[in-house]
Structure 1
Amino acid sequence: MRGDIKESILFLFKEEDITLFNKAELSRRYNCDPRTIDRYIKMAKGEIEAGTQKREYKSKLDEFKPIIINKVDKYGCTAKAVYQLIQKKGYTGKYSILANFMKKHKDEETQKATIRFETNPGLQAQVDWKEDMILTNKQGEQFKINIFLMVMGYSRNKFIIVTTDRSQETLFECMIAAFKYYGGVPHEILFDNMKTVVDHAKSSFAKTVFNDKFEVFAKDMGFTPIACRPYRPQTKGKSEALAKLVDRLKVYNEEFTTWDDLKKITTQFREDINKEYSQGCEDIPIELFQK
């Protein structure tokens, strides 16, 4: 704000008829735009308040921002795809402007969504699979296996079991086995967007819909399912870290003969890693589980 202009206009307003002011002359005297003089005259007359009518800077992207955010949040579209779409809708700006806006939006959403899960005892568990792992027995026969993983959020207590498939029935059997192992059912269980849990046809990038049979199972067991949210790369850190841990099973190549041997090895491995990584963690009180 030009204080000198403001004071002069207010002084002249008291002494003379403001309608007789020569705005062009005053703008030359104060070396400013005539619109600045006009604004201070309106302030002196009480037509506007000081600090109002700030210049608004508009971007060519502004009118397309709702479309952009919808395509990114709901469907996970790339900047290139969105750029091509809004060009057809009349956008004439640069690709870099769009890319910067999308990056800023994603960074803000990630910051809001990324919260480290440090849960109370019995509150939350996380589920995942280690898929299509190949182990070779002593006779050179290959076994294609899957490892079901469940880890408690508070104690980091881990449950793993070897399976031949990842069907929905197998998932349910593994989860029931895990509940028996833990002695109860956690209040919440966090899942990846696996097809045995999520109805992909009804789900979008920003909204997950669980399939009907899984919802019935969750209700019968007494837990609330939670799907991984977009922009939350660290949400499932505990189960993903466990997936890396299970890679240690590779050392048992050529150390077993039958499927039963594999199951025994996996059970012993589970007990070993829980002793190794969970020493010092408190046991989970059963009363904090839903029965």
Structure 2
Amino acid sequence: MTKSSPVPITVLGLGAMGRALANAFLIGGHPTAVWNRTPGRHAELVAAGATSAATVDEAVAAGGLIVACLLDHGSVHDVLDPVAGDLAGRTVVNLTSTAPSDARELAAWAECHGIEYLDGGIMSIPAMIGRPESFLLYSGSKEVFDENRAVLELLGSAEYFGADAGMASLYDFALLAAMYTMFAGFSHGAAMVRTEGVPATEFAKHAVQWLSAMVQVLPLSGEAIEAGAEADGQSLDFTKAALDAIVRASREAGVGLDVVGPLKALVDRQVADGHGAKAFDAVFEGVRAPGSE
């Protein structure tokens, strides 16, 4: 059997993440062309074997798979609209962070121009790309995903979420919401103990131990939400009392309530609506979209 030639790849956008993607493709042995709106970010990649394109037209003419990692949804159109005709019959994998509706709009745009389209969400920081802990989410064309899976897995593990191009970004943003909320909670706790001179680095040691243990119960929380969040342990009434005390302690320490204040308001509302006997997971009902199943 003859070994197939490496797939040429063009990376559009050389921010920290774009450079990491291009580097992973180069390490994987793929001829890689790179382009960036602002010059000067390609030197290390060129030294590693990449080809620098002076214009988007030149980058697209390099052939192969087009991977876009740009600033936002508008940037994708700004870059790709002028070369849409040249992309007909080609494949675009969009790894730009875009809202689900934007991903669906880009998929429709691509279909109108005869472009094969796959949308992706990167659940990694640049330093993790190509490492075992890196994983990326994809949705859109199943054919594109299957045909290019080996290339995509150079970046990290690849999971496909179906033909709806918006599903990968929906999962991406939902996971980021959980992450950012956790980090914000850590910052609130660090601010509380700092009032007594405790460094954030010291607090982090205890936070890692505590949060690592709590993360293990997330599957149980998922089950509780689907079962109606009936209490099997601590109730929302208990949580309300705890949050009341946390808010009081925060105020006494002079720490802002930007993080815990909205959570307390959510719990207070659920208790006032008669859900105090349910588990903490009942806050799901307070934030989910009306009518969603």
Query: Is the TM-score greater than 0.5?
Result: no
**Which structure exhibits the higher relative contact order, with contacts defined as CA atoms closer than 8 Å and separated by 6 or more residues?**
1
Q: TM-score range by the shorter chain?
A: under 0.3
- Structure with greater helix share of residues: 2
